[in-house]
Amino acid sequence: MRKRAEPVALEHERRAVSGSPSAGSAASALDADCRLKQNLCLAGPGPAEPRCASDAGMKRALGRRKGLCFRLRKILLCVLGLYVAIPFLIKLCPAIQAKLIFLNFVRVPYFIDLKKPQDQGLNHTCNYYLHPEEGVTIGVWHTVPAVWWKNAQGKDQIWYEDALASSRPIILYLHGNAGTRGGDHRVELYKVLSSLGYHVVTFDYRGWGDSVGTPSERGMTYDALHVFDWIKARSGDNPVYIWGHSLGTGVATNLVRRLCERETPPDALILESPFTNIREEAKSHPFSVIYRYFPGFDWFFLDPITSSGIQFANDENVKHISCSLLILHAEDDPVVPFQLGRKLYSIAAPSRSFRDFKVQFIPFHSDLGYRHKYIYKSPELPRILREFLGKSEPAA
């Protein structure tokens, strides 16, 4: 077979060289065949078309993935930049840290008229305005004992002021940061205390609610002193107790220390969810979690508080207080850690200033769910107050 094929090939070559018509037609046929095969190769078989579409889809998906990764990277860089910038911003502008402590710009609940406490279910409450200093006005609510609610209907401020001279004890309530004297949990506590037969006098510090002025620790303490003196001028010999909650415990111990130094102490001091001092509270606050291990945390975040004149040194104040002290704290408090209230008690209990007075710490188990501001819900609270305040006078 190989011998036969070789002469045929030689014959074709001779014809191609001689330029015969049969050679040209064969070459043309060969060229056409080659072009056909080339076109078929370029076009590819039919099933390749879906594969091309799939490749294009994969390229688009890959492009979208790359775009998403770029956007996420950009967002992460912005967040990281903000995270690093905030400490420097607070250090350069200590007033920002003061705002975060006071939160007086947060008014909750919204859309309430503080001139109308009856809108909050306090039908036996009167709204006052007092003037501790020139250019400063503070809004005050006075709730009489619940048993007087019928007599209180339609009465004016003079009637309420005269009612302070009755034989009923009075509680001056100092609220915490954020919100106003019309806060929901605060209103509920007024109702509980009123139902137990107490007058309740509360107010918004300068810069809170509808009170006029600029917030500061000194100013808040002076406002509380002014209201206390206003109460004592009208209440005669009736007992006056001071109740502070959260940041209000700092105002309360500032006030009571000053009252004790001038030898006009209140009949008892009640601290609900207290801290030791504002630096320890700021370091323990849940908002500080993301910066607690930031290099230079104290320098960036705590020193600006001190430079703003904010201390609220409960741990130091209790060493100079000479009246009965009751501390209430929930174990599940997420804002002021329970251990700070316990620590404050451990500082106060052995203090010589309390040697003739009762000092008591009442914890509320975490299963009760009272957290930071719901101790008023405790069915034990009336008994606790009755037993403590009934024995709040100094020992013989």
Confidence of residue 394 (pLDDT cuts 50, 70, 90): very low
For β-strands 138-143 and 359-364, DSSP reports them as: unpaired
**Model pLDDT, residue 90:** 76
CA-to-CA separations, 359 to 247, 271, 321, 347, 349, in angstroms, rounded: 20, 11, 11, 11, 6
| Res. 289: pLDDT tops 80 | no
**What gap in Å lies between CA 15 and CA 43, rounded to an integer?**
35
Closest CA to 246 of 374, 129, 124, 131: 374
**Model pLDDT, residue 3:** 46
One-letter amino acid identity for 205? Y
Catalytic residue among 194, 246, 273, 392: 246
Catalytic residue among 204, 223, 315, 333: 333
Residue 246 appears among annotated catalytic residues: yes
314 alpha-carbon distance from chain centroid: 21
| Res. 64: pLDDT tops 80 | no
Residue 285 appears among annotated catalytic residues: no
To 5 degrees, how large is the angle CA 15–CA 17–CA 23? Answer: 40
Residue 372 appears among annotated catalytic residues: yes
Judge if the upstream peptide bond of residue 109 is cis by omega within 30 degrees of 0.
Answer: yes
**Element of type H or E holding 149:** helix 149-152
DSSP per position, 217-274: HHHHHHHHHHHHHHHHHHHTTS-EEEEEETHHHHHHHHHHHHHHHTT---SEEEEES-
Residue-wise pLDDT tens digits, 4-43: 445 444 454 455 444 444 444 544 554 555 555 555 444 5
| Structural tokens at position 224 | 């509380």
**Model pLDDT, residue 51:** 61
Closest CA to 204 of 248, 161, 147: 248
Closest CA to 322 of 277, 279, 258, 390: 258
| Structural tokens at position 39 | 């076109």
DSSP per position, 333-386: -SSS-HHHHHHHHHHHTT-GGGTTS-EEEEEE-GGG--TTT-GGG-TTHHHHHH
**Model pLDDT, residue 20:** 45
Burial level of 385, CB count in 10 A (0-12/13-18/19+)?
Answer: buried
Out of 108-122, 160-174, 328-342, 365-379, least confident range? 108-122
The size of the chain, in residues, is 396
Burial level of 197, CB count in 10 A (0-12/13-18/19+)?
Answer: middle
Closest CA to 142 of 59, 230, 223: 230
Catalytic residue among 124, 142, 175, 372: 372
Residue-wise pLDDT tens digits, 233-288: 999 999 999 999 999 999 999 999 999 999 999 999 999 999 999 999 988 887 77
Out of 17-31, 77-91, 142-156, 295-309, least confident range? 17-31
- pLDDT, average across residues 164-192: 96
**What gap in Å lies between CA 176 and CA 191, rounded to an integer?**
18
**Model pLDDT, residue 192:** 97
| Res. 140: pLDDT tops 50 | yes
Structural domains of the chain ordered from first start: 65-102+280-311 (no CATH), 117-279+312-389 (3.40.50.1820)
Q: Within 10 A of 147 (CB to CB), how many other CB atoms are there?
A: 12
Q: What is the pTM of this model?
A: 0.80
Burial level of 30, CB count in 10 A (0-12/13-18/19+)?
Answer: exposed
CA-to-CA separations, 212 to 98, 104, 132, 185, 361, in angstroms, rounded: 17, 12, 11, 23, 36
| Res. 395: pLDDT tops 60 | no
